[in-house]
């Protein structure tokens, strides 16, 4: 098998496993969101440590003892109605996929924290996309400077819907994009519409320098 085929199949398996993890998370969270979060942390640690499509290189894997994820805090779990939003478009240039178009389709109002835009991927496959950035981004002990992802359904990151069709927005599940670990990846980052003016003490923290590949 060629290296190109191996790479494509590895990424496909990563997405398959990610979708399976989130299916378990949605099921477990119906009864115990904290237990669902613990499951998510364990499963992602296992994938980062051993999967061929992990964003970690061989040296980083040798140093890896687990992702830096804050303890679960139920105060950061929301079920929100999607509010109407003004039209908006976000075109993201990537190194491998060309220009990826997103359309703003709604707003998510988070009590006491601010508002996030809900984006729809307007290319093959579609999907919901909710990146976010908080005021601790890029600060010592804070979150990744480029922001994090919360929902990215085309890649399986889907927390589901609650009662009345409300969208589950649990910030404890915010995670770093691949480019946080390896700058060779090109990732859509959080735009101003998805930037909160408050710190978020939950979710995955910025990676340690030992886990970040050099260009």
Whole-structure pTM value: 0.95
pLDDT digits (tens, 9 = 90+) for 80-118: 999 999 999 998 877 666 788 999 999 999 999 999 999
Residues 204 and 106: their CA atoms lie apart, in Å, by 25
On whether the CB atoms of residues 89 and 103 are closer than 8 A, the answer is yes
- Kindly report, residue by residue over 153-205, the tens digit of the pLDDT: 999 999 999 888 899 999 999 999 999 998 888 888 899 999 999 999 999 99
Query: Measured between alpha carbons, how far is 83 from 42 in angstroms, rounded to an integer?
Result: 34
């Amino acid at each position: 098998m060629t290296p190109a085929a191996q790479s494509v199949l590895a990424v496909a398996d990563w997405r398959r496993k990610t979708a399976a993890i989130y299916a378990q998370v949605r099921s477990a969270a119906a009864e115990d969101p904290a237990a669902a979060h613990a499951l998510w942390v364990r499963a992602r640690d296992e994938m980062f440590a051993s999967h061929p499509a992990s964003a970690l290189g061989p040296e980083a894997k040798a140093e890896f003892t687990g992702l830096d994820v804050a303890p679960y805090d139920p105060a950061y779990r929301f079920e929100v109605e999607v509010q109407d939003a003004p039209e908006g478009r976000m075109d993201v240039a990537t190194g491998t996929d060309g220009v990826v178009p997103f359309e703003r389709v709604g707003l998510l109002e988070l009590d006491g924290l601010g508002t996030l835009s809900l984006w729809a991927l307007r290319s093959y496959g579609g999907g919901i996309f909710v990146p976010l950035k908080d005021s601790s981004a890029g600060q010592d002990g804070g979150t990744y400077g480029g922001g994090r992802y919360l929902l990215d359904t085309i890649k399986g990151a889907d927390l589901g819907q609650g009662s009345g069709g409300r969208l589950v927005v649990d910030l404890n599940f915010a995670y770093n994009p691949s480019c946080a670990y390896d700058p060779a990846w090109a990732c859509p980052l959080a735009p101003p519409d998805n930037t909160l003016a408050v710190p978020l003490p939950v979710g995955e923290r910025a990676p340690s320098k030992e886990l970040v590949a050099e260009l």
